[in-house]
Amino acid sequence: MSALSCPNCGANLEAPQSVRIAEYHFGRLEKADTGFLEPPGFAYRKEQPDVYTILCNTCKRLVRTLPIPEK
Protein backbone atom coordinates (compact mmCIF):
# COMPACT_ATOMS: atom_id res chain seq x y z
CA MET A 1 0.00 0.00 0.00
CA SER A 2 1.39 3.41 -0.91
CA ALA A 3 1.68 6.35 1.47
CA LEU A 4 -0.64 9.31 1.24
CA SER A 5 1.06 12.12 -0.63
CA CYS A 6 0.33 15.76 -1.36
CA PRO A 7 -1.19 16.22 -4.85
CA ASN A 8 0.75 19.51 -5.23
CA CYS A 9 4.31 18.74 -4.13
CA GLY A 10 4.31 14.96 -3.53
CA ALA A 11 5.29 15.19 0.17
CA ASN A 12 4.43 12.26 2.43
CA LEU A 13 1.32 13.28 4.41
CA GLU A 14 1.65 10.39 6.87
CA ALA A 15 4.82 11.85 8.42
CA PRO A 16 4.56 13.59 11.80
CA GLN A 17 3.49 17.25 11.54
CA SER A 18 3.08 17.02 7.77
CA VAL A 19 -0.45 18.45 7.63
CA ARG A 20 -2.32 21.32 9.23
CA ILE A 21 -6.04 21.10 9.87
CA ALA A 22 -7.84 24.45 9.77
CA GLU A 23 -11.39 25.00 10.91
CA TYR A 24 -12.93 28.18 9.55
CA HIS A 25 -15.29 30.19 11.73
CA PHE A 26 -17.66 32.57 10.05
CA GLY A 27 -19.66 35.22 11.79
CA ARG A 28 -20.83 38.77 11.72
CA LEU A 29 -20.20 42.06 13.48
CA GLU A 30 -22.97 43.65 15.51
CA LYS A 31 -23.05 47.14 16.96
CA ALA A 32 -22.57 47.05 20.71
CA ASP A 33 -23.67 49.83 23.00
CA THR A 34 -20.54 50.36 25.03
CA GLY A 35 -19.32 53.23 27.13
CA PHE A 36 -16.55 55.62 26.22
CA LEU A 37 -13.88 53.54 27.96
CA GLU A 38 -14.95 50.20 26.44
CA PRO A 39 -13.79 49.99 22.83
CA PRO A 40 -14.26 48.85 20.08
CA GLY A 41 -18.03 49.47 19.85
CA PHE A 42 -18.89 46.20 18.15
CA ALA A 43 -19.24 42.54 19.05
CA TYR A 44 -18.36 39.52 16.93
CA ARG A 45 -20.94 36.71 16.79
CA LYS A 46 -19.51 33.37 15.64
CA GLU A 47 -21.63 31.03 13.57
CA GLN A 48 -21.27 27.27 13.36
CA PRO A 49 -18.42 26.32 10.98
CA ASP A 50 -19.39 23.95 8.18
CA VAL A 51 -16.05 22.87 6.70
CA TYR A 52 -12.46 22.29 7.68
CA THR A 53 -9.44 22.04 5.43
CA ILE A 54 -6.31 19.93 5.36
CA LEU A 55 -3.19 21.86 4.32
CA CYS A 56 0.23 20.47 3.43
CA ASN A 57 2.94 21.87 5.74
CA THR A 58 5.63 21.47 3.07
CA CYS A 59 4.10 23.55 0.29
CA LYS A 60 1.40 25.30 2.40
CA ARG A 61 -1.27 24.46 -0.18
CA LEU A 62 -4.74 23.00 0.12
CA VAL A 63 -4.93 19.21 0.08
CA ARG A 64 -8.62 18.70 0.77
CA THR A 65 -11.77 20.38 2.14
CA LEU A 66 -14.08 18.21 4.22
CA PRO A 67 -17.48 18.90 5.82
CA ILE A 68 -17.80 18.96 9.59
CA PRO A 69 -20.36 16.34 10.60
CA GLU A 70 -23.43 17.73 12.35
CA LYS A 71 -23.99 16.65 15.92
Give me the pLDDT at residue 39, please.
64
Beta strands at 51-56 and 27-31: parallel, antiparallel or unpaired: unpaired
Please choose, from the candidates 64, 63, 66, 65, the residue with its C-alpha nearest in 3D space to the C-alpha of residue 8: 63
Give me the pLDDT at residue 1, please.
45
Give me the pLDDT at residue 36, please.
61
Tell me the per-residue pLDDT of 17-62, one tens digit each, with 9 for 90 and over.
999 998 777 788 888 776 665 567 787 787 777 788 999 999 999 9
Give me the pLDDT at residue 35, please.
63
